[in-house]
A and B are shown apart, each in its own frame.
Chain A
Amino acid sequence: MRNLLRRPEFGAIAAFLVTYLFFALTTTAAGFVSINGTAGWLNLAAELGIIAIPVGLLMISGEFDLSIGSTVGAASMVVAIGTNFLGVPIWPMIGLALIMGALIGVINGLVVVKTGVASFIVTLATNFVVLGATMGVSRLIANVTSSSIVSDPAAKFLFSARWGQANISILWWMAVALTGAYVLSRTSFGNWIFATGGNLVAARGAGVPVERVKITLFVCTGIAAAFVGVLQGVQWNSGNATYGMGYVFQAPIVAVIGGVLLGGGYGSVVGIVIGTAIFGVISTGIFYTGWSTDWIQLFLGLLLGGAVLANNYIRRFALSAPRG
């Protein structure tokens, strides 16, 4: 039991149960707890979660990535312009979008490790650069900043298949979570992530290739963001340069809710997944209450703040409990 309490995600699980119960009780007639209602908040959480996991790992290693927002939009536009205006089949364009995501990650990573400028600033700059480039290039090629996507059945299945109202994105989210959890807790690379974020100098002294760790993680966030861009693009049949802007701060927020320390060195993938689920429940559940939506930001802020505080309190309590 004590071991369970000591896990970084325990506070997040408790916070999840409290918020879920809150909405289950306040939305009794509206079907929030039904299978379809559940699929609804899972669909929302899944798309955010696919990005939030690599972002969380990057935060554990002590860095930020705010360029994910415009990478999502850029990837959707790469696929849209390629398929709709240039007549290229969708698969090469999906490949190109993912390569572009990886390249953005490489650039972020290299600039951060070579200059030592805070990644918060570097990736904020990249976020603007990528958004501007997407809009400029889209206009040059196709004279639009959002465009339809010409898809094919295989792509439609992989990115937008549905079972009932549950999207395939939920499976992708689980796959990313399993991979992330395995890497973080079962591989030496996972240990390097913790070491890099915990104490950079000590980690370097111990022979951890900290620069490679960071660059690799930036590449992962870039690819994940591009992947979500493709997923949303195929799902909604259109690309838009501003897709994904909401994720810029939502992804780090859910990682923190899930127990990742802003300063790095601490966190877990299960925690990030639960944090994302909390966000999905709150931001979807609130509409099932039927309350005036003018108050939504207030509720969202209070509930998120409450979840983080509860999470912190429980973790501190668990860690300070005497050993049994």
Chain B
Amino acid sequence: MHIDLPIAPHGLRRLALSISFAALSAFAAVSPAQAQNEGPILVVSGPLSWPFFAAVKQGFDDAAELYGVDYQYIAVTDTANMTSEYPRLLQQAISRSPSILLVGEFFPDGMDPLIKEATDQGIPVIIHNSGQTLWEQNGSLGFIGEDPYQMGHKAGQIQAESGVTKGLCFNQVPGNPTVEARCTGYIDAMTEAGAATVYQTIGTGEAANQQAMMQAIMGTLQANADIDGIYTLNAEPAISALRAVQDVGRAGKISIGTADLSNEVLEAIKAGDIAFAMDQQPYLQGYLSIQSAVLYSRYGLHPIGAVTTGPLVIDSTNVDKTLEVNRKFSGVRGAS
């Protein structure tokens, strides 16, 4: 069987020409706010298939609309090779000479040298979400986000104080250093308090399979009859953990805490089935990033020092307000 290519070589050239024409006319039509600078505002941030980053983007969108600026959101669509994809995306963004660059430094080994390169070239960079320990050294203007280690550490402290003696940290995306740092923090805090810990991962590619996560947690609970606390790193595994705890017949005996929110997690907190969720307030990360970018490029103003957006601990005391906001403004709290 032979294959007819739809585009002959001269057709390809014509296609390339028309694409560059389209790009040129797009440049000609930039808004006044951008025209003062050479390039666009570029944002390299997390995958939008995660509710968390959907909320970050909502923050970018709302602030951009408020200040009347345009920006472009760049992220991976396929989360399988993020560690190598993100440096590539960042490199492409830098080569477009943005007027200001807003970056989530998820994978420091590959991304930090590139950020240094950008700041050396004089591109103003603001880091959001991840990279709290690095932003000063790589020449960035500021950092808006949370320290994943501190978030995990806080979770460990809360569980240890509530009497957990053996805690399980369940990581559904093994190999992701940011997420892993939460487990490290959790394990450190538990160890400091004299409690035992178990660290558990699952196969890559199962990060969205709640049945697989549930069965994995069940197995680990069966193999460790003395586990009395679970910390999960996202809202979906939290629900898997909740059902696993119920199925092994240890509901009420195992305390569950999680990072990030969903409606279901919030309802479970309300019902007393999940003890707490740690909100790093993703919307704020996006909103404050655009705000800082605009204030810097217009007036040269920027915050001194890291701006910490999390964790805000959500438990039975403040869950009602969160649920109410979530119903009224879909996507803003990062729960859906």
Interface positions of A (Cβ within 8 A of B)? 27, 29-32, 36-37, 40-41, 43-44, 47, 73, 85, 115-117, 128, 131-132, 135, 139, 142-148, 165, 232, 235-238, 240-246, 249-250, 283-290, 292-294, 296-297, 300
Contacts and interface: CB of A to CB of B under 8 A. Distances in A.
Given A40-B218, A44-B215, A146-B336, A128 B78 contact: yes
B224 A246 contact: no
A132 B263 contact: no
Contacts of A142: 330-331, 336
B219 A288 contact: yes
A127 to B, nearest CB: 9
B222 A288 contact: yes
Contacts of B208: 73, 240, 242-246
A85 B263 CA distance: 14
Contact of A30 (B49, B203, B223): B223
B203 to A, nearest CB: 6
A241 B331 contact: no
Contact of A293 (B58, B201, B262, B331): B201
Contacts of A300: 203
A165 B204 CA distance: 25
B222 A148 contact: no
Given A148-B264, A238-B264, A293-B202, A32 B54 contact: no
Pick the 5 closest A-B CB pairs, nearest first: A287-B219, A290-B223, A116-B1, A246-B205, A30-B222
Interface residues of B, number: 47
B210 A236 contact: yes
Interface of B: 1-4, 48-51, 54, 58, 77-80, 174, 199-212, 215-220, 222-224, 236, 239, 247, 262-264, 330-331, 336
B54 A290 contact: no
Given A43-B211, A165-B247, A246-B212, A289 B3 contact: no
Nearest to A289: B223
Given A128-B77, A135-B49, A297 B215 contact: no
Nearest to A42: B215
A218 B239 CA distance: 33
Contact of A32 (B203, B222, B236): B222
Contacts, number: 142
Contacts of A31: 222
A300 B48 CA distance: 30
Contacts of B247: 36, 40, 165
Contacts of A44: 211-212, 215
A297 to B, nearest CB: 6
From A115, A284, A292, A294, name the one whose CB has the most chain B CB atoms within 10 angstroms: A284
B262 A246 contact: no
Nearest to B212: A44
10 contacts: A40-B215, A142-B331, A146-B51, A236-B236, A238-B262, A240-B49, A242-B79, A246-B209, A284-B215, A294-B174
B219 A147 contact: no
Contacts of A145: 48-51, 54
A298 to B, nearest CB: 11
B331 A283 contact: no
A59 B232 CA distance: 38
From B78, B204, B330, B336, name the one whose CB has the most chain A CB atoms within 10 angstroms: B336
A249 B203 CA distance: 13
